[in-house]
């Protein structure tokens, strides 16, 4: 079985849905499982719904209606008339969403977040599956929550591999097109959980691992994995082949084409990963597999914006020792701040972190009791794998460099706009 993953950009409108159909006709769809994200910016729109819900805003109904209107316009464009079953199926999902918003009693933001944003994937895959059947491709729609089981760590759930393996290996029907949702799972109480933003790639890897798949292909709006984001760097080059090790390094430092958690399960079973263009599906793209070197051997640039640089120093000028660092990292874990760079001296400790859950203010109140805390918001972290002098100059030119760290293969540079 082959596993394909389609992100939100590939199914953002009716033309995107038609393109997925045409792509499958070109590359084949038997014994294929599709993992599909929410359409376009639907997750962002559902985050507005959640905000309005917690704010008790009168705009809540309008924000739900906006999401409904967006999807209905796509359905009307795709199907000949409103007698098609897809209209009723999608309306039922919106009814379930509205019922939850009216009846939920939990004040837990992360719990509510997962229950609400999940409708993006449920709706997109419902539309896509109905369209494939409408176009005479025999398709089975699968609710991923019945297959991927997790703990109850909402918004960043951890997979129960034993239960998930058992569910997938016993219940996925081969020899046909299967369509399921990325990003989602469920806990022991069957409440919806999510695997973290951009977790659909990880979903594809989970299914591939459990099915001993032939391969995984991530379909993107780029030709494959580039050595730099073309939005920020001119003359970005396609990397035709990458080893698992190199891809994991790039993902760890923040390369957005491949999700960081995607590669480990694939490497364990040596399942090749392809990153290809849904615009030109017959192009080779990038292959990630065992033992292949980075080809061509180029500096690779990774940019992470909106970072937070935190500098801690001891109030009494004593050394920052292991017990202090352990305590600091325990707080980072507790408040879900992702650490992207570490630099320390005898009496100071600096980290560049990503505060995606806006928890730093609360954590800072605790840190400030024991340490002198300085921080700079909205810094940019540049990582250069296989750096050289020219690559470093490209990053540093015209910017204010506030921290630089160099190892054998990797250079990291933090810049400030101020």
Task: Check pLDDT > 90 for residue 348.
Answer: no
Task: Check pLDDT > 70 for residue 54.
Answer: yes
Mean pLDDT of 80-97: 94
Rounded CA gap, 339 and 323, in Å?
18
3-state secondary structure of 228: coil
- Output the pLDDT for position 168: 97
- Output the pLDDT for position 293: 60
- Output the pLDDT for position 118: 98
Task: Check pLDDT > 60 for residue 294.
Answer: no
Sign of CA dihedral 311, 315, 316, 322: negative
Task: Check pLDDT > 80 for residue 208.
Answer: yes
Rounded CA gap, 396 and 383, in Å?
12
Rounded CA gap, 372 and 374, in Å?
7
Task: Check pLDDT > 90 for residue 192.
Answer: yes
- What is the DSSP secondary structure assignment for residue 324, as one 8-state letter? H
Share of residues in the chain with pLDDT > 70 (%): 98
- Output the pLDDT for position 320: 78
Task: Check pLDDT > 80 for residue 257.
Answer: no
Mean pLDDT of 270-276: 96
**What are residue 307's DSSP bridge partners?**
379
Rounded CA gap, 129 and 135, in Å?
10
- In 3D, which of 139, 269, 277 has the Cα closest to residue 211? 269
Assign 292 a pLDDT band (cuts: 50, 70, 90): low
Task: Check pLDDT > 90 for residue 55.
Answer: yes
Task: Check pLDDT > 80 for residue 115.
Answer: yes
Using an 8 Å Cβ cutoff, are 225 and 239 in contact? yes
Could you read off the pLDDT of 175-185 as tens digits, one per residue? 889 999 999 99
Phi-psi region for residue 211, left (φ > 0), alpha (ψ -120 to 50) or beta? alpha
Share of residues in the chain with pLDDT > 90 (%): 80
Could you read off the pLDDT of 368-397 as tens digits, one per residue? 999 999 999 999 999 999 999 999 999 999
Sheet containing 400-406, strands listed edge to edge, beginning at the edge strand earlier in sequence: 338-344, 348-354, 300-314, 371-385, 410-416, 400-406
- Output the pLDDT for position 197: 66
Could you read off the pLDDT of 295-339 as tens digits, one per residue? 557 899 999 999 999 999 888 877 778 888 899 999 999 999 999
Q: How far is CA 207 from CA 10, 105, 116, in A?
A: 20, 33, 24
pTM for the structure as a whole: 0.85
Q: Write down all domains in the chain, each with its CATH number in brackets.
A: 2-213 (3.40.1160.10), 300-416 (3.30.2130.10)
CA angle 260, 31, 3 (to 5 degrees): 5
Rounded CA gap, 225 and 241, in Å?
9
Mean pLDDT of 224-253: 88
Could you read off the pLDDT of 142-173 as tens digits, one per residue? 999 999 999 999 999 999 999 999 999 999 98
Sign of CA dihedral 231, 236, 240, 242: negative
């Amino acid at each position: 079985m082959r596993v394909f993953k389609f992100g939100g950009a590939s199914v953002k409108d009716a033309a995107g849905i038609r393109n997925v159909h045409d792509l499958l006709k070109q590359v084949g769809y038997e014994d294929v499982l599709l993992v599909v994200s929410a359409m376009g910016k639907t997750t962002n729109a559902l985050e507005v719904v959640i905000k309005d819900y917690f704010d008790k805003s009168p705009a809540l109904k309008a924000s739900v209606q906006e999401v409904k209107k967006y999807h209905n316009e796509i359905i009307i464009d795709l199907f000949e008339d409103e007698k098609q079953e897809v209209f009723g199926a999608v309306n039922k999902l919106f009814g379930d969403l509205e019922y939850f918003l009216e009846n939920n009693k939990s004040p837990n933001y992360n719990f509510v977040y997962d229950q609400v944003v999940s409708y993006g994937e449920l709706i997109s895959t419902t539309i896509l599956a109905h369209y494939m059947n409408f176009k005479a491709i025999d398709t089975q729609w699968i609710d991923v929550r019945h297959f991927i089981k997790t703990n109850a760590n909402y918004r960043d759930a951890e997979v129960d591999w034993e239960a998930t393996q058992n569910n997938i290996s016993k219940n996925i029907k081969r020899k046909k097109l299967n369509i399921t949702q990325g990003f989602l799972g469920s806990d022991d109480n069957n409440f919806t959980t999510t695997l973290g933003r951009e977790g659909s790639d990880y979903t594809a890897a989970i299914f591939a691992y459990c099915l001993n798949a032939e391969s995984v292909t991530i379909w993107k709006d780029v030709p494959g994995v580039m050595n730099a984001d073309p939005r920020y760097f001119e003359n970005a080059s396609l990397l035709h082949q990458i080893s698992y090790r190199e891809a994991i390094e790039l993902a760890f430092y923040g390369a957005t084409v491949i999700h960081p958690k995607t590669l480990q399960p694939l490497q364990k079973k040596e399942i090749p990963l392809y990153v290809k263009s849904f615009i030109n599906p017959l192009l080779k793209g990038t292959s990630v597999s065992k033992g292949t070197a980075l080809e061509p051997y180029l500096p690779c640039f990774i940019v992470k914006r909106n970072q937070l640089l935190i500098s801690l120093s001891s109030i009494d000028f004593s050394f920052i020792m292991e017990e202090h660092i352990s305590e600091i990292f325990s707080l980072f874990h507790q408040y879900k701040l992702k650490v992207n760079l570490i630099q320390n001296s005898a009496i100071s400790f600096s980290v560049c972190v990503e505060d995606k859950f806006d928890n730093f203010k609360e954590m800072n109140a605790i840190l400030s009791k024991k340490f002198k805390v300085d921080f700079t918001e909205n810094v940019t972290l540049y990582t250069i794998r296989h750096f050289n002098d020219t690559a470093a100059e490209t990053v540093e030119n015209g910017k204010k460099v506030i921290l630089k760290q160099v190892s054998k293969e990797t250079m990291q540079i933090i810049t400030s706009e101020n």
